[in-house]
Structure 1
Amino acid sequence: MQISWNGLGSFVISGKPIQGEVSLVTDPYQNETGLRFPRTLSASLVVQSHQSEMADNLEAVASPEDKKTFVVHHAGEYEVSGIFVTGVNAPLKDGTAHTVYRIELEDISIGFLGALDRELTDKEMEYLGAIDILIVPAGGGSVLNAKGAAGVVGQIEPRLVIPSYVQVDGLKTKLDSEDAFIKELGVSKEEMNKLKITKSALPQEDMGVIVLSRS
């Protein structure tokens, strides 16, 4: 399985669950954010955590091989081309509709927390289940800050953590870098352009933190 980062909460997750490669894109953002969204992305599935310019550029994701891209933007259980997705209602602190997701691909479970701004409830944790790789917002502002994100990591106890919503050049919204988050966790980070991982290669003891460069 491979994970790359477009910026903000947008990731491309791809793998070969059955036959041939399939891809999923999370929270495609508008160029009005200050970041230019990639022009050449195609995916079988798009998951959207909330409605805002940071997550609603759905038309920017092309359909693969003339097949319609399936869009998930609310709670429920879905399966598309061997990718299993569970959406869990997790409204923001002000009551704004928001969904977090459990994504299963190649026997790896990924928790995608979108633009979450609070800790998870016991019920939300129960629906998400055990998570191997957690994608958690950590840049502050309208999403979790470093301390809050570290608290959510402590709730879930994943084997790998990938911070999202951290500062990059060009972004109009001011966010913190990942440094404060890494300090809160008290672990070292590994930086890379893309994460390529298999179930057997996941950390068995100490949790790992992966900081992805924007694609």
Structure 2
Amino acid sequence: MPLPRTAAVVAAALSAASLVWTSAPAQAQSDPVPSKCMAIAQALPFVTFASYTPAQATRASGDVTITYAGHSTYVIESPGGVRVATDYSGVYGRDPLPRVITMNKAHSTHFTNNPDPGIEYVLPGWNPDGGEPARHALVVDDVYIRNVTTDIRRFGTMEENANSIFIFEVADLCIGHLGHLHHALTDQHYGAIGRLDIVMVPVDGGMTQSLANMSEITTRLYSSIVLPMHRHSTPMGEFVAMMGEGFAVDRRAERSFTVSLRELPRRPTILILQGV
């Protein structure tokens, strides 16, 4: 069966970039770095080590900088200087150019057909070739990136495994980006995601899910820091009210903040950066 046009274009466009798949045993690392974020850490998916060094076995803690670039794009910068841009369309987060990008295909504002060839690792949340779900398990210096696939609505039906929740393990922090999440999460999803110290949540109130549904998911994840995104015209106060008094609210005049494991707030906090 031929690929849908969007997937075919993306597959062709990404051929010049480093598209990393980790479903083949030949790509597995014999001694993978264990996931610190898994709820039940038993076996890890096959991992491709892009820049592996023995020091990654301990993954020393440090400061992580997170910047709201726009729409659903956050830029994560590791202590080692690895820049990762989420839901990258080429509009936000491109200067300086990230080393890694993740994408989702719900709308063209969440992916690009023409990623800059200077981007080393391009990780779509869907499989452009069709068939098996996208499966990423990638280590780039001091960052480990994996995904949990979800479905999306398309023309009134659900397309299976068409998008991904991406999890970034860096400096002992577990950072999750929910992407363009269109449905409730099952126990299996939560188990595959594991602990999230920081979670990026779409709060548009309808294009993804209702605020009631999204607040329920966010409450169950119970992350130390909640970063809203994909807001559109929804008043931020509506999402904050849905989350209730169990979550503090911290509004910032800056687009960036720096955090480490030891600096996480004791009370779960909705952190609203400038521009959200």
TM-score past 0.5 threshold = yes
1:29 corresponds to: 89
Please tell me whether the aligned partners of residues 65 and 78 of structure 2 are also in contact (alpha carbons under 8 angstroms). Answer: yes
Please tell me whether the aligned partners of residues 43 and 62 of structure 1 are also in contact (alpha carbons under 8 angstroms). Answer: no
Give the letter for the 1:201 counterpart: E
Please tell me whether the aligned partners of residues 104 and 111 of structure 2 are also in contact (alpha carbons under 8 angstroms). Answer: no
CA distance in 2, matches of 1:101, 1:150: 19
Summarize the Cα distance change of 1:62–1:22 in structure 2 as closer, same or farther, 3 Å threshold. Answer: farther
CA distance in 2, matches of 1:135, 1:39: 19
Give the letter for the 2:201 counterpart: V
Structure 1 residue ranges (4+ consecutive) displaced by more than 6 angstroms after TM superposition = none
Summarize the Cα distance change of 1:41–1:51 in structure 2 as closer, same or farther, 3 Å threshold. Answer: farther
| Shift, 1:123, TM fit | 1.0
Summarize the Cα distance change of 1:153–1:59 in structure 2 as closer, same or farther, 3 Å threshold. Answer: same
Return the match for 2:110 from 55, 58, 65: 55
SS at match of 1:130: coil
| Shift, 1:60, TM fit | 5.6
2:123 corresponds to: 72
- Structure 1 regions of 5+ residues with no counterpart? 31-35, 168-174
Please tell me whether the aligned partners of residues 73 and 93 of structure 2 are also in contact (alpha carbons under 8 angstroms). Answer: no
1:147 corresponds to: 212
| Shift, 1:198, TM fit | 0.8
Residue 183 (1) aligns with residue 238 (2): no
CA distance in 2, matches of 1:21, 1:114: 23
TM-score by length of 1: 0.82
CA distance in 1, matches of 2:110, 2:183: 18
Summarize the Cα distance change of 1:181–1:21 in structure 2 as closer, same or farther, 3 Å threshold. Answer: same
CA distance in 2, matches of 1:137, 1:46: 18
Summarize the Cα distance change of 1:61–1:125 in structure 2 as closer, same or farther, 3 Å threshold. Answer: farther
Residue 83 (1) aligns with residue 132 (2): no
2:158 corresponds to: 95
Q: Identity over the aligned pairs, expressed in percent?
A: 19
Return the match for 2:262 from 191, 200, 203: 200
Residues 34-57 of structure 1: CA deviation (Å, up to 9, x unaligned): xx5355231111111335211113
CA distance in 1, matches of 2:190, 2:257: 25
2:34 corresponds to: none
Residues 137-195 of structure 1: CA deviation (Å, up to 9, x unaligned): 1112311232121111122111110111112xxxxxxx413221101112442122212
CA distance in 2, matches of 1:50, 1:75: 15
Give the letter for the 1:135 counterpart: M
RMSD: 2.1
Question: How many pairs align?
Answer: 195
2:127 corresponds to: none
